[in-house]
A and B are shown apart, each in its own frame.
Chain A
Amino acid sequence: MTPKIKIENLNLWYGSFQALKEINAAFLEKRITAIIGPSGCGKSTMLRVFNRMNEMIEGVRTKGNILIDKENILDADTDLVVLRKKVGMVFQRPNPFPLSIYENIVFGPKVHGLNNRYELEQIAEHSLRSVLLWDELKDKLNHFALSLSLEQKQRLCIARLIAVKPDILLMDEPCSTLDPQATSKVEELMRELKNNYTIIIVTHNMQQAARVSDDTGFMLLGELIEFGKTEDIFTKPKDKRTEDYITGRYG
């Protein structure tokens, strides 16, 4: 199987600080890959390379290749709009816009030029159904999105993302602000979404990585120490450092 995303010799610097070091990995289509590692090891940085959000920060330099569907997205002439439509991101803190639920979902499609009201409504319904919120919210589409619960907000953010029809979903600790019950619901949703999307999730929570992911990468100080099937990583890690981390010896 050809990988959906292939990383080749990726290096990244914030000014003179190197945050990613010679990373090589391949992410398979329609699977959930978890990236784990201690705080500050470069998980978020790695995730934000895939949709090139790091470039908003001044002084960032990237070297290497990232092939998504065989195209190097780090090329200077990559169309960022096309890339970001294809590679969407869910943030740590649920962050709906201060607009209505409906306006939140159709923001992406509208920005990309869709004006047909009927089509927008179809998209809104489909997106809300995909995150299992339609029945709850179908009569409240005009309500203010900030009045939703945290879990609903995070689902809404995923729906907003699905509305632009991405292939790949990047999730940066999407459950870290949620309680255990909401977390397990969002995890369920992720398994559901796996049928249609390639998902990469950053998490601090090793149980979560073990529960939801098919593949896992372990990072330490900007290096990708080990990458493979989740069960292998958790049951028979090859590297001593991986073993130390998953057995809790790193804090």
Chain B
Amino acid sequence: MHNSQRTQKIAFLFLFLATLLIVVPVGLIVVIIIQKGLPAINWQFLTDIPRQGMRAGGIFPAIVGTMYLVAGAIVFALPIGLLAAIYLSEYSKDNFLNRLIKLAIVNLAGVPSVVYGLFGLALFVIFLKFGASILSGSLTLGIMILPIIITASREALESVPDSFREVSLSLGASKWQTIRHIVLPNAVPGILTGTILGLGRAAGETAPILFTVAAFYLPRLPHSIFDQAMALPYHLYVISTQVPNVDEKIRYGTALVLLVLVLFMNLVAIIIRYKFRKKKKW
């Protein structure tokens, strides 16, 4: 009796330590980045173009570039991902082929991002002749986050109780009307959450944009979707490893901006999910 209680306490301690082991490094990273980056953040840093070979000035073109890329990725990936999810959860029969497709999609989410980068280079930049451009970069990022969007949307659609579909059909609604008016509206929060998480991933990745869009140094805003652009993660890579003598402040400042952007998106996703959980009553 006494012994088993002690075992439980020890097990609990181990579990707690394991959790701590995960939380502490993450916390440290955030703290260090804030500590070293915060002094760099000011209005000029956020709104000016890089100057003196990126050793001074701001990171405005990189912020804008990342925004464009993320927006482009979503315009491409959300409709396709959503349609695929609707097909998989509402229309496809539960057979071997479809289970294989679902499994493949889940696994695609784990493919290293540099592989997507190479794929984008081959397909969009070279084969389709889009060149290194916002278009190529957005499409590559879009393909990278498709599995995330499909999986999250599918889960959201499947979590809508079947009884709703049944009632709707029993009232004479068609299958599509049922999906459109009953299933989709109830799945929106889940779809949004997945989409935003995907966006956070798209904003933070370097490898997929490396060959497809990122400009080493382009101190102006892009003119069109066929233009190259700077982007935050790549800019961070460049000023950290490729350009000598960049002030540490600027590097950490850039990292901080990127971190805040991604954390902000995740925060929005969490809030949406939380609100929905509270409202959901069935």
Name A's B-contacting residues (CB within 8 A).
51, 53, 56, 58, 80-85, 88-89, 91, 93, 95, 97-98, 107-108, 111-112, 146, 157, 160-161, 164
Contacting pair B169 A111 (CB below 8 A):
no
Q: Smallest distance from the beta carbon of A163 to chain B beta carbons, Å?
A: 9
Task: Say yes or no: A95-B171 contact (C-beta < 8 A), given A107-B181, A146-B281, A146-B282.
Answer: no
Contacting pair A84 B171 (CB below 8 A):
yes
Chain B residues 156-172 with CB under 8 Å of chain A are 161, 163-164, 166-172
Q: How far is the CA of A97 from the CA of B169 in the complex (A)?
A: 13
Task: Say yes or no: A108-B281 contact (C-beta < 8 A), given A53-B166, A58-B93.
Answer: no
Q: Closest 10 CB pairs between A and B?
A: A84-B172, A85-B172, A108-B171, A89-B170, A111-B173, A95-B163, A81-B172, A146-B281, A111-B177, A95-B167
B242 within 8 A of A: no
B182 within 8 A of A: yes
Residue B163 contacts which of A83, A91, A112 (CB distance < 8 angstroms)?
A: A91
Residues in B whose Cβ lies below 8 Å from that of A89: 167, 170
| Residue among A56, A95, A98, A161 with most chain B CB within 10 A | A98
Q: Smallest distance from the beta carbon of B185 to chain A beta carbons, Å?
A: 8
Q: What would be 6 A-B contacts, judged by CB atoms less than 8 Å apart?
A: A58-B94, A84-B172, A89-B167, A98-B186, A111-B172, A111-B173
B174 within 8 A of A: yes
Task: Say yes or no: A112-B172 contact (C-beta < 8 A), given A98-B186, A98-B282.
Answer: yes
Q: Which residue of A has the minimal Cβ distance to B177?
A: A111
Contacting pair A53 B170 (CB below 8 A):
yes
Residues in B whose Cβ lies below 8 Å from that of A161: 171
Interface size class of B (residues with CB under 8 A): 20 to 34
Name B's A-contacting residues (CB within 8 A).
93-94, 161, 163-164, 166-174, 177, 181-182, 186, 280-282
Q: How far is the CA of A89 from the CA of B281 in the complex (A)?
A: 23
Q: Which residue of A has the minimal Cβ distance to B161?
A: A95
Q: Which residue of A has the minimal Cβ distance to B280?
A: A98
Q: How far is the CA of A58 from the CA of B168 in the complex (A)?
A: 19
Q: Smallest distance from the beta carbon of B216 to chain A beta carbons, Å?
A: 51
Q: How far is the CA of A161 from the CA of B168 in the complex (A)?
A: 10
Q: Smallest distance from the beta carbon of A209 to chain B beta carbons, Å?
A: 23
Q: Smallest distance from the beta carbon of A98 to chain B beta carbons, Å?
A: 6
Contacting pair A84 B181 (CB below 8 A):
no
Task: Say yes or no: A97-B166 contact (C-beta < 8 A), given A146-B281, A160-B171, A164-B171.
Answer: no
Contacting pair A111 B164 (CB below 8 A):
no
Residues in B whose Cβ lies below 8 Å from that of A97: 164, 167-168, 182
